[in-house]
């Protein structure tokens, strides 16, 4: 846990290693276990270690292209 806004946290982290996938999550490149196409415009990811949450983690449709580019760097 980190006591700051996600925006402030995003600004402090390395853009090479971290990516804001949606308004709730910033992920580290090496924490991504699997990426699955969920719908035409969305991706679902699993993280390792897995966060203690009940919901799936989705990459918002507006971030999919930027996410793919980030993965391929």
Domains of the chain, by residue range, sit at 6-71
Q: Report d(CA 7, CA 39) in Å as an integer.
A: 27
State how beta strands 43-47 and 32-37 pair: antiparallel
**44, containing H or E segment:** strand 43-47
Q: What is the pLDDT of residue 2?
A: 66
Print pLDDT tens along the chain (73 aa): 567 888 899 999 999 999 999 988 999 999 999 999 998 889 999 999 888 888 899 998 999 999 999 999 8
Quickly count: other Cβ atoms within 10 Å of residue 34's Cβ.
9
Q: Which residues contact 72 (CB under 8 A, 6 or more apart)?
A: none
What pTM was estimated for this model as a whole?
0.84
């Amino acid at each position: 846990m980190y006591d700051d806004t996600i925006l402030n946290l995003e600004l402090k982290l390395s853009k090479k290693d971290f990516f804001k996938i949606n308004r709730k999550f910033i992920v580290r490149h090496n924490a991504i276990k699997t990426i699955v196409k969920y719908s035409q415009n969305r991706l679902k990811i699993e993280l390792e270690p897995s966060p203690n949450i009940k919901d799936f983690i989705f990459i918002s449709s507006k971030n999919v292209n930027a996410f793919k580019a980030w993965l391929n760097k």
